[in-house]
Amino acid sequence: MATTKGGAATARKKNAGAGTGSARRAQLLAIAAEMFASRGYTQTTVRDIAVEAGILSGSLYHHFASKDEMLTEILQDFMGSLLRQFRSIADEADSPRAALDGLVRSSFETIHRTPHAVALYQNEANFLGSTPEFSFVTKASREVEKVWLDVLRAGIASGDFRSELEPTTTYRFIRDGVWSTVRWYDPRGRLQHATLADQYLTMLDGGLIAS
Amino acid sequence: MATTKGGAATARKKNAGAGTGSARRAQLLAIAAEMFASRGYTQTTVRDIAVEAGILSGSLYHHFASKDEMLTEILQDFMGSLLRQFRSIADEADSPRAALDGLVRSSFETIHRTPHAVALYQNEANFLGSTPEFSFVTKASREVEKVWLDVLRAGIASGDFRSELEPTTTYRFIRDGVWSTVRWYDPRGRLQHATLADQYLTMLDGGLIAS
DNA sequence: GTCTATAAACCGATAGAC
DNA sequence: GTCTATCGGTTTATAGAC
The CA distance from A25 to B187, in Å, is 44
Note whether A118 and A169 are same-domain residues. yes
Note whether A202 and A144 are same-domain residues. yes
Cite the DSSP H helix spans in chain B: 6-18, 23-39, 46-53, 57-60, 67-92, 96-113, 115-128, 135-158, 167-179, 193-206
Measure CB to CB from residue A210 to each of B162, B173, B177 and give the nearest one.
B162
Among chain B residues 18-37, those with CB within 7 Å of any atom of strand D: 24
Residue A116: CATH number of its domain: 1.10.357.10
Note whether A89 and A185 are same-domain residues. yes
B1 in a domain, yes or no?
no
* Cβ-defined contact of B126 to A126 (cutoff 8 Å): no
Using a CB–CB cut-off of 8 Å, the residues of B that contact A are 39-40, 42-43, 97, 100, 123, 126-127, 155, 159-166, 169-170, 172-174, 176-177, 180-181, 183-184, 191, 196, 199-200, 202-210
Tell me the mean pLDDT in the region B49-60.
98
Strands, E, within A38-170: which ranges? none
Residue B52: CATH number of its domain: 1.10.10.60
* Radius of gyration from C-alpha coordinates of chain A: 20
Helix or strand or coil: residue B128? helix
B2 in a domain, yes or no?
no
A106-125 per-residue burial string, b: 16 or more CB within 10 A, e: under 16: bbbebbbebbbbbbbbbbbb
Identify the DSSP state of B40.
-
* Cβ-defined contact of B176 to A173 (cutoff 8 Å): no
Note whether A75 and A50 are same-domain residues. no
Note whether A133 and A180 are same-domain residues. yes
Bridge partners of residue B192, in order along the sequence: none
* Cβ-defined contact of A161 to B200 (cutoff 8 Å): no
B160 contacts B95 by C-beta, under 8 angstroms? yes
Instruction: Return residues with beta carbons within 7 A of strand C.
Output: A 10-11, 14-15, 24, 50, 54-59, 62-63; B 3, 42, 44-47, 57-58, 61, 65-68
Nearest nucleotide to the CA of B43, by C1', is C11
Note whether A113 and A198 are same-domain residues. yes
Note whether B56 and B104 are same-domain residues. no
B111-136 per-residue burial string, b: 16 or more CB within 10 A, e: under 16: bbebbbbbbbbbbbbbbbeeeeebee
The CA distance from B145 to A132, in Å, is 39
A200 contacts A177 by C-beta, under 8 angstroms? yes
Q: Cα separations (Å) of B48 from B40, B53, B54, B72?
A: 12, 9, 10, 18
Domain's final residue, options A60, A78, A104: A60
The CA distance from B125 to B179, in Å, is 12
The CA distance from B153 to B157, in Å, is 6
Cβ pairs bridging A and B (under 8 Å): 127
Helix or strand or coil: residue B42? coil
Note whether B97 and B124 are same-domain residues. yes
The CA distance from B109 to B122, in Å, is 16
Q: Cα separations (Å) of B93 from B31, B79, B97?
A: 36, 21, 9
Interface test mutation site (partner B, options A103, A151, A152, A208, max chain B beta carbons within 10 A): A208
The CA distance from A175 to B161, in Å, is 23
pLDDT for position A125: 87
For B163, how many CA atoms within 13 A lie in the half-sphere containing its CB? 3
Measure CB to CB from residue A205 to each of B174, B177, B208 and give the nearest one.
B208
Domain count, chain A: 2
Sort out which chain A residues have CB atoms less than 8 A from B97's CB and list them: 209
A127 in a domain, yes or no?
yes
Note whether B163 and B102 are same-domain residues. yes
A178 in a domain, yes or no?
yes
Phi, psi (degrees; rounded to nearest 5) at B19: 75, 15
A122 in a domain, yes or no?
yes
Note whether A33 and A121 are same-domain residues. no
pLDDT for position A127: 87
Note whether A175 and A76 are same-domain residues. yes
B131 in a domain, yes or no?
yes
Interface test mutation site (partner B, options A151, A171, A173, max chain B beta carbons within 10 A): A173
Q: Cα separations (Å) of A175 from A16, A73, A167, B176?
A: 38, 23, 12, 10
Searching chain B, which residue's CA lies closest to the CA of residue A130?
B39
Interface test mutation site (partner A, options B103, B195, B208, B211, max chain A beta carbons within 10 A): B208
The CA distance from B103 to B151, in Å, is 10
Distance C4 C1' – B139 CA (angstroms): 47
* Radius of gyration from C-alpha coordinates of chain B: 20
A35 contacts A49 by C-beta, under 8 angstroms? yes
B47 in a domain, yes or no?
yes
What is the percent of chain B where pLDDT is above 70? 90
pLDDT for position B10: 39
pLDDT band, residue B9 (cuts 50/70/90): very low
pLDDT for position A129: 82
With 50 as the cut, is the pLDDT of residue B16 above it?
Answer: no
Q: How many CB atoms lie within 10 A of CB A7?
A: 18
Q: Which residue has the higher pLDDT, B164 or B15?
A: B164
pLDDT for position A128: 87
B112 touches strand D (CB under 7 A): no
Run of H or E residues at A6? helix A6-18
A93 contacts A154 by C-beta, under 8 angstroms? no
Run of H or E residues at A168? helix A167-179
pLDDT for position A202: 98
Which bases of strand D sit closer than 7 A to a protein CB? 1-6, 10-16
Tell me the mean pLDDT in the region B58-63.
98
- Give the residue numbers spanning the domain of B168: 67-206
Residue A2 CB burial class (10 angstroms; 0-12, 13-18, ≥19): exposed
Of B123, B126, B3, B109, give the one whose Cα is nearest residue B65: B3
Predicted TM-score of the model (pTM): 0.91
**What's the mean per-residue pLDDT of chain B?**
91
pLDDT in tens, chain A (211 residues): 333 333 333 334 443 333 334 899 999 999 999 999 999 999 999 999 999 999 999 999 999 999 999 999 999 999 999 999 999 999 999 999 999 999 999 999 999 999 999 999 999 988 888 888 999 999 999 999 999 999 999 999 999 999 999 999 999 999 999 999 999 999 999 999 999 999 999 999 999 999 8
Tell me the mean pLDDT in the region B68-97.
98
Note whether B53 and B112 are same-domain residues. no
The CA distance from B36 to A144, in Å, is 28
* Cβ-defined contact of B176 to A172 (cutoff 8 Å): no
B176 in a domain, yes or no?
yes
pLDDT for position A106: 98
